[in-house]
Structure 1
Amino acid sequence: MNEFATWMKTYVTVSDLESFSRAADVLGITQSTVSRQINALEKHLGASLLKRTTRSFALTVEGVSFYDAALRALAAIDEAEAAVRSPEALSGVVRLTAPLTLARARIIPYLAQFQRAHPDLHIEVQLSDHALNLVADRLDFAIRVGEIGDSRNRARKVGTARRVAVASPDYLERAGVPQTPADLRSHNCIAFALLSTGNTWQFAGHDPVSISGSFRTDSSDALRSAALCGLGIAVNARWLFEEDLAAGRLVELLADYPPVDMPISIVLPPSRYTATRVRALVDHIASCIQADPLLRSD
């Protein structure tokens, strides 16, 4: 890799990690070398790329523009190198986002398995039930549950989230057990604020049901906690409740009318350039999901 390409790689790494010291650790060089390379790049380009103080870090307008161009250039270099190098020689940084509970239940173990095979690869994970902006947050890809909708991003369906309706034994003793989805209209239902259908729950073989209740949250973890506390009936992905169901802390409801499944997708930014390390990790996650009976698309 020539000097200018090295500077670009250092700049992208600094931008991704928002830290000179962390970039130095990832690149295996000193922090002073990182600073020297960034200064040389800015001098070569005749533009300031970074605004950095002891408390903040941001890219300038020119820095954002150059970051995107540098990504494309480095991806092209990466493709050329990948054509002749060992497939085990993956390095650099991959940044992704995933829903909290899916990451804890499945994705983190997938990533650990991949990193054991590629120890020179660094992975940064942002956990959020909200859909982060891949471009603005400089993410390589996202794992998302639910319909993607209109988007310039590239989406690849890799699995299916099988959902379940649950409640605590305590709640069911007080409120009774619903026999059909229509019975939910007389129950306290725990609403998930990020559900694309809002307060309408959809079940296989039954008309959609409008639900109501006294508790609403945008956190899947809070939804689970509310169900465990006996606040009402919750609907979400089975992986969120699987340990509680096995232990009897929650009870599955309406088994004859399961909530409709949701797609699990890997979403990449609109750029047609995808680094080899990113593509390899995406393929690994997709393969792991398809091997999981609870997640695979049958």
Structure 2
Amino acid sequence: MNEISIWMRSFVAVANAGSFSAAANQIGVTQSTISKQIVGLERHLGTQLFRRTTRSLALTADGMLFLEGALRALAAIDEAESLVGLVTNIQGTVRMTCPLSLAESRIIKMIGRFLERHPKMEIDLQLSDHALNLVSDNLDLAIRVGQLGDSRLTARKIGMARRVIVASPDYLDKMGRPTKPADLRRHNCISYTLLSTGSRWQFVGGEAAVVSGNFRADSPHGLRAATLAGIGIAANAHWLFEQELASGALEIVLPNFELLPMPIHAVLPSGRFVNARTRALLDHLVDEFVRDPLLSTRTSVPT
């Protein structure tokens, strides 16, 4: 990698991170090193790229123009490297975030297989059911389930989360088994408060049920625990209840009615070039999703 390319990568890192220290930590060099690289780049270009004060750092007009060109140039370099096989030797760290239940059920195993193929890679995984900010949290990639609320994000749909309605046999023996969506109105339904559709459960084909109950949770794990405790009926991703359904601790309610699945997106920071290591991980996850019947866009939910 030539000196100009190194300077450009440092420049993009500083522009995205908003500070020399944060960019240095991201790249793995000292703050002094990255400062010298930016100065070298500014001298080479004959212009000031950042407006610096003791309290802030901002791109100049020339800096904003150069950022656009640098992103295109670095993306082209990474693309050229991948075409000649250098992607097989990728190394470095990808910082990503993913919902906890999906990570436990699927993503961590997928990452494990990725690391077997790329032993020089490191994955820094932050688990959260809340949407983290990719820029302020310095993340390269996010996997998000459900509708995206920010249209400015750079997103790629990589799968669908198939959902089921479940309850414990004890609850159903006591309260009865619904035979149609309208029957859910007479049951205690557990709400997942982070779901954008709230108390409206939408089925494939257009039918819907507005549900209510005396328990709600902002965590899929809390939702599952409440269902196992016999509090009521819950709806969430099929993968969340796999083990409990297999053991008989939970059973599927309304097996002849399928809930609308939720889209799964890979989200990237807007305006940031996608480096080879992030792209390699994303491509790996896409391949894994295609083969998983609970994640793929090609198959229906198992019963």
TM-score bracket for the superposition, by shorter chain length: 0.7 to 0.9
For 2:95 and 2:53, locate their aligned partners in 1 and report how far apart those are by CA, in whole Å. Answer: 20
2:79 is matched with which residue? 79
Say whether residues 1:156 and 2:152 are aligned partners: no
Q: How much does 1:105 deviate?
A: 0.7
What is the identity percentage for the equivalent residue pairs of Structure 1 and Structure 2? 47
Query: Matched residue pairs, number?
Result: 283
Kept in 2: contact 1:227–1:234 (CA 8 A): yes
Say whether residues 1:186 and 2:165 are aligned partners: no
Structure 2: give runs of 5+ residues left out of the alignment.
43-47, 299-303
2:36 is matched with which residue? 40
TM-score by length of 1: 0.80
2:232 is matched with which residue? 232
Q: How much does 1:22 deviate?
A: 8.5
Q: How much does 1:230 deviate?
A: 1.3
Q: How much does 1:255 deviate?
A: 0.4
For 1:105 and 1:81, locate their aligned partners in 2 and report how far apart those are by CA, in whole Å. Answer: 33
Kept in 2: contact 1:49–1:60 (CA 8 A): yes
What does 1:98-137 align with in structure 2 at a 5 Å threshold? 98-137=98-137
Distance 1:227-1:34 versus aligned 2 partners, 3 A rule: same
TM-score by length of 2: 0.79
1:202 partner amino acid: Q
1:38 partner amino acid: I
Secondary structure of the residue aligned to 2:156 is strand
2:91 is matched with which residue? 91
For 1:125 and 1:74, locate their aligned partners in 2 and report how far apart those are by CA, in whole Å. Answer: 25
CA-to-aligned-CA distance 1:186-233 (integer Å, 9 cap, x gap): 111110112121111112346211111111122111111111111111
For 1:139 and 1:254, locate their aligned partners in 2 and report how far apart those are by CA, in whole Å. Answer: 40
What's the RMSD between the two structures over aligned residues?
3.3
1:251 is matched with which residue? 251
Distance 1:241-1:218 versus aligned 2 partners, 3 A rule: same
1:156 partner amino acid: R
Distance 1:59-1:6 versus aligned 2 partners, 3 A rule: farther
Structure 1: give runs of 5+ residues left out of the alignment.
25-32, 52-57
1:181 partner amino acid: P
Kept in 1: contact 2:165–2:253 (CA 8 A): yes
Secondary structure of the residue aligned to 2:88 is coil
2:216 is matched with which residue? 216
For 1:267 and 1:211, locate their aligned partners in 2 and report how far apart those are by CA, in whole Å. Answer: 31
Kept in 2: contact 1:147–1:263 (CA 8 A): yes
1:30 is matched with which residue? none
For 1:145 and 1:3, locate their aligned partners in 2 and report how far apart those are by CA, in whole Å. Answer: 40
Distance 1:272-1:289 versus aligned 2 partners, 3 A rule: same
Distance 1:273-1:234 versus aligned 2 partners, 3 A rule: same
CA-to-aligned-CA distance 1:119-168 (integer Å, 9 cap, x gap): 12222222222222223333222212222255122322222211100111
